[in-house]
Chain A
């Protein structure tokens, strides 16, 4: 598999690997993919009172481009508001990493992970508001 230098760079030096406390009300967690398909991404965001994502972490079980896609996703998320974060598209990630066609699904998974993390955060907030 001929990967772009950007994929190799993210694979060899992944940004923001790690975990945030998933029970923290300001943290949203997205877990997408399936082991049998060869990709599982866990993406977490920590949102401050102004609705800005101040931290993002990931862990990924997957191929080089899946790791690179999630690593890049955390970089893109940091400093954005939730509204801005929802505008991140898989095509942005695929283009930035120059993913080969057979690996486009990795960027799709990264977009799914972003949406799942945001949805989790919003659900937590909703629950808290109603409590």
Chain B
């Protein structure tokens, strides 16, 4: 077993060896600029790019012509939101998104607020899911864009994308979804779900970092103003020479994800449920953050009550995981996603995101469970809060001196 055990698949995934093998020739013997029209190096490169485009499109039921390659989901989200806002600003200035979106969506929306757009940041319920009634009542005749993520990066919850899409289509509002975490993990169909724009990341699906895509609907046509101007590649929506090897790898990763999605989902769901059951069997006072059912198979986000986040992270150094604790982030604020769920600060501080993926084994999970059971127990024995709770003290009734 390789230590630390990697349980951070929502941060990034290792590139699948089959993807790496597939990519290698495109760096040297099969190299070429896909935009070169005058020789075979260019033609072959272009053929590979188009093949990859078709593989990515197939995962979401799109036409290959609707796929625009970008540097990743952050660029895709920026392109979609700023591009739509700028193109359709004469039709309205209102955008709806959700408080638990990825920072790159929230920050893009804040940027647009400075340019005069009105943005509604919808709250979520305690399970992390959107209340459809609240969503519907947020729509105004000025609403031009709705951006709701398919799967959350911290708590893995799956928003009701199809329902949102149906409402947006009925009202003639453009619907964008950040599917960085969902692509290749859950079934997505842009037609059935009425999705107009969809962001994809390569490195979250065992492809290389630095490549992603934006799906932009052609029928009915969705238009946007480009962020990056230049040679007019990617139907003018994203200029710049396409990175051949990255795109080839991304295409291969998409092809594998589509072929193995169902099987992988079943295996990961079983593994995650096993992990959750084992941890809660051995440790009391564990809280699951986010809905248990409407959730990515490979995500488990737990709060370990009465222990502090940073000391917990120090105790489980042999696990590569992410924490909602302030101490591990630059902002000194606990996770805004957990706050949006109404999770108290002390529980947000002691939250750990376990991300399971393609190469996670039962042995890895057993190691993690044993380590957690041992270390959390030790930290609780050292915790005055745990001691007070054991003595029957209600911690909320204590007058703490804030410092």
Contact = CB atoms under 8 A, between A and B. Distances in A.
A19 B306 CA distance: 17
B403 A32 contact: yes
Interface residues of B, number: 26
A110 to B, nearest CB: 12
Interface stretch (B17-25, B254-262, B357-365, B379-387): B379-387
Contacts of B382: 14, 17, 59-61, 67
B349 A38 contact: yes
A67 B345 contact: no
Q: Name, among A1, A33, A38, A61, the residue most crowded by chain B CB atoms within 10 Å (CB to CB).
A: A61
B310 A61 contact: no
Interface residues of A, number: 29
Interface stretch (A39-47, A79-87, A118-126): A39-47
B339 to A, nearest CB: 12
B395 interface: yes
Interface of A is mostly: mixed
B165 interface: no
B327 A38 contact: yes
A36 interface: yes
Contact of A34 (B306, B381, B401): B401
B349 to A, nearest CB: 5
B403 A63 contact: no
B167 interface: no
Contact of B346 (A19, A35, A66): A35
Q: Point out which of B309, B311, B349 has the most chain A C-beta atoms below 10 A from its C-beta.
A: B311
Contacts of B325: 38
Contacts of B314: 11, 63-64
A109 interface: yes
Given A1-B310, A17-B382, A64-B310, A36 B387 contact: no
Contacts of B306: 61
B231 to A, nearest CB: 46
A109 B346 CA distance: 18
B402 interface: yes
A114 interface: no
A31 interface: yes
Contacts of A108: 403
A25 interface: no
A12 to B, nearest CB: 9
B307 interface: yes
A105 interface: yes
Contacts of B395: 35
A61 B347 CA distance: 12
B384 A42 contact: yes
A35 B385 contact: yes
Nearest to A32: B401
Contacts of B344: 36
Contact of B309 (A14, A36, A38, A60): A38
Interface string B374-395: 0000000111111100000001
Contacts of B48: none
B106 interface: no
Interface in B294-338: 306-311, 314, 325-327
A60 B327 CA distance: 16
B403 A31 contact: no
Nearest to B380: A61
Interface in B30-59: none
A95 B344 CA distance: 33
Contacts of A59: 382-384, 387
B307 A61 contact: yes
Interface string B86-101: 0000000000000000
Contacts of B28: none
Given A33-B400, A105-B403, A63 B310 contact: yes
A67 B402 CA distance: 18
A45 to B, nearest CB: 15
B385 A37 contact: no
Contacts of A41: 384
12 contacts: A1-B310, A11-B314, A33-B403, A35-B385, A35-B395, A36-B400, A37-B403, A38-B308, A38-B325, A42-B384, A60-B384, A64-B311
Interface of B: 306-311, 314, 325-327, 344-346, 349, 381-387, 395, 400-403
CB-based closest 9 A-B pairs: A34-B400, A42-B384, A63-B310, A59-B384, A35-B346, A61-B383, A36-B345, A61-B385, A34-B402
Given A35-B395, A40-B385, A105-B403, 6 more contacts: A1-B327, A32-B403, A34-B403, A36-B346, A40-B383, A67-B382
